[in-house]
Amino acid sequence: MATLCRPAVSVPEYVITMEETLELARSRHADHPQLGLCLRLIENTGVRTRHLVQPVEETLAHPGFEERNRLYAAEAKARVPLVVRRALEDAGLRAADIDLIVYVSCTGFMMPSLTAWLINSMGFPSTTRQLPIAQLGCAAGGAAINRAHDFCTAYPEANALIVACEFCSLCYQPTDLGVGSLLSNGLFGDGVAAAVVRGSGGVGVRLERNGSYLVPGTEDWIAYDVRATGFHFLLDKRVPGTMEPLAPALLALADGHGWDASDLDFFIVHAGGPRILDDLSKFLGVPPDAFRFSRATLTEYGNVASVVVLDALRRLFDAGGAGDGARGLLAGFGPGITAEMTLGRWSGTP
């Protein structure tokens, strides 16, 4: 049975605090008619610090889409190998043991994908399958786990490497002044992560069942408007309420597996914002502390898109994991509105 091993996570060295974010909003948008609302929304995110690939002064400048995408590629090549090496080590594998690389990112574009560069530069076999996913946004962390699970179910002796690379700060647009855009400026952060799914062996979450669900008629609630200046993030004010239609999908996935989603031992979910976690607590009937690892990621790193699920899982590992056989749910939420969901049991025995 496929096992999701300990993720490795790295965040850049440049840090911006909540206080600095609020002061920037006040100084740059002093005449904004809804500045007070924007400041309250940013404060309510619960994000205390975020990490950026550039100093904040450079982040606030816009040198053009071409330069930003060049920086994306350069930073990905500089930062991803470290987490890949650590993830392989934690899984007890070498690059030569990997049969599939799933690469997820929505904050830059490369063709060939970074997967080709990784194969050429890090010793992965030339026969390694490549699966780059670029348009699932924050849901892609969950999708990467699910596609790796599917692959290792089809090929039980195979191993898959998941890589998530998100530099959300490179999508900052100084001319976007809507409430959703200003909120996003105080919510998203940068980071990279990697994890191995072993077809057999390994310590971590034994993956048992996965599923997807798309809320009909919501494809424009989270979107990119792609212009000459790059990716312009669109965030509908209805997004924070999406757990009401998505929670039943989580309950149904568990029910189809003979489990009760309200009676699981651990929850690793994408923390898009505090209301997402508060509503999940209510609709699943679990205590708020059930999402403590996701809340910690949100507080310390902000919303790091596809990286969030892997970082929250890393925190579960660092806390000592769960007891053998403990049942859990992993989920990522993103554009669509889409949920990518996984059920699994903790296994501390290789």
pLDDT number for residue 313: 98
Distance CA 156, CA 149 (A): 10
SS3 for 236? coil
Cβ neighbors of 149 (< 8 A, separation 6 or more) are 2, 4, 197, 207, 210, 342
Please identify which of the residues 5, 38, 106, 138 carries the catalytic annotation. 138
User: Nearest to residue 313, comparing CAs of 325, 329, 300, 326?
Assistant: 329
For 204-347, CATH number?
3.40.47.10
CATH 3.40.47.10 placement within the chain: 3-198, 204-347
User: Nearest to residue 245, comparing CAs of 339, 312, 175?
Assistant: 339
Low-confidence ranges of the chain (pLDDT < 50): none
SS3 for 48? coil
Extract the tokens encoding 302. 């902000």
Q: Is the pTM of this model over 0.75?
A: yes
DSSP state of 205: E
For 3-198, CATH number?
3.40.47.10
List the beta strands (DSSP E) in the chain: 3-4, 8-10, 14-17, 49-52, 100-104, 129-133, 159-167, 190-198, 204-218, 222-227, 230-235, 266-269, 327-334, 336-347
Distance CA 188, CA 215 (A): 23
Q: How far is CA 134 from CA 46, 114, 158, 196, in A?
A: 27, 11, 24, 19
Distance CA 30, CA 44 (A): 20
Distance CA 72, CA 69 (A): 5
pLDDT number for residue 119: 98
User: Nearest to residue 294, comparing CAs of 169, 142, 91?
Assistant: 142
Concerning whether 165 is annotated as a catalytic residue, the answer is no
Distance CA 276, CA 44 (A): 12
The answer to whether residues 35 and 26 touch, using CB atoms and an 8 Å cutoff, is yes
Extract the tokens encoding 286. 């679990």
pLDDT number for residue 349: 75
The DSSP line for 243-271 is HHHHHHHHHHHHHHTT--GGG-SEEEE--
pLDDT number for residue 176: 83
